């Protein structure tokens, strides 16, 4: 026989009293919010009041919102980590590339110095020039260009001033001699040019 409405209300009241006593008791035995929600979820929706249904809906929406927030935070963290990793990889590749090119440029410098010395041996100099042209071709294919020309305005980003020359032939701060050529890749200077910079001849 189905129970009467009065019996159901009495049973519900006893359940609520028992729950209140457990909450007052505290300690490890006090029910947590998840346990309370699980107790409500154990009953069929037809057995719940409108207030309980609204509470269940609010609880589910809160859980959904929290899960969405955790997902968005995790995705943002992953995107930030990926960007940092990409920047770090690019930095390391750039540093290794520049180091390799600087070593190659030392060989270019040596061959160019040898050409200035071996002018009295035309056949030997011709071989050196051919070798130098091949090396310059390799550098050009890597996007390496020479920087530092006489007459340029001194630029500390591109030039390394190793001497100052008094002269009236050039304006103050102009490059009057290039001791060692510089090189760049695009806007990035791989090696600054070593230059002598002019100053007015009336200055000591």
Q: What is the CATH number of the domain that holds 191?
A: 2.30.22.10
The DSSP code for 153 is: B
Which domain-ending residue is among 56, 81, 106? 81
Q: What span, in angstroms and rounded, lies between the C-alpha atoms of 142 and 103?
A: 14
Structural domains counted in the chain: 2
Domain presence at residue 65: yes
Q: Are strands 193-199 and 159-166 parallel, antiparallel or unpaired?
A: parallel
Contact assessment for residue 178 and residue 150, using Cβ atoms and an 8 Å cutoff: yes
Domain presence at residue 106: no
Domain presence at residue 129: no
Domain that holds residue 32: 5-81
Angle of helix 33-41 versus helix 50-117 axis, rounded to 10: 120
Q: Which two tokens stand for residue 30?
A: 């006090």
The model scores a pTM over 0.85: no
Domain presence at residue 177: yes
Q: How confident is the prediction along the chain (204 residues), in pLDDT tens digits per residue?
A: 455 555 666 666 666 665 655 554 544 444 444 444 444 456 676 777 788 878 888 898 999 999 999 999 999 999 999 999 999 999 999 999 999 999 999 999 998 888 887 666 677 788 888 989 999 999 999 899 999 999 999 999 999 999 999 888 888 889 999 999 999 998 899 999 999 999 887 654
pLDDT at position 171 is 87
Which domain-ending residue is among 66, 81, 96? 81
Domain presence at residue 96: no
Domain presence at residue 33: yes
Which domain-ending residue is among 55, 81, 107? 81
Domain presence at residue 159: yes
CA distances from 92 to 25, 37, 88, 97, 101 (A): 62, 53, 6, 8, 14
Q: What span, in angstroms and rounded, lies between the C-alpha atoms of 115 and 136?
A: 15
Domain presence at residue 20: yes
């Amino acid at each position: 026989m189905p129970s009467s409405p009065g019996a159901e209300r009495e049973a519900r009241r006893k359940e609520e009293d028992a729950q209140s006593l457990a909450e007052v008791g505290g300690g490890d035995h006090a029910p947590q919010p998840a346990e309370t929600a699980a107790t409500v979820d154990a009953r069929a929706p037809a057995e719940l009041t409108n207030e309980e249904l609204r509470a269940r809906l609010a609880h589910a929406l809160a859980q959904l919102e929290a899960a969405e927030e955790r997902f968005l935070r995790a995705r943002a963290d992953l995107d930030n980590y990926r960007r940092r990793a990409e920047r770090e990889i690019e930095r390391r590749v750039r540093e290794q590339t520049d180091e390799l090119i600087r070593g190659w440029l030392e060989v270019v410098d040596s061959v160019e110095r040898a050409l200035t010395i071996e002018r009295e041996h035309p056949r030997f100099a011709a071989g050196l020039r051919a070798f130098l042209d091949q090396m310059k071709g390799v550098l050009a294919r890597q996007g390496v260009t020479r920087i530092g020309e006489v007459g340029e305005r001194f630029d500390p980003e591109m030039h390394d001033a190793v001497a100052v020359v008094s002269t009236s032939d050039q304006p103050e701060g102009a490059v009057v001699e290039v001791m060692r050529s510089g090189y760049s890749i695009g806007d990035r200077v791989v090696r600054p040019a070593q230059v002598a910079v002019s100053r007015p001849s009336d200055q000591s």
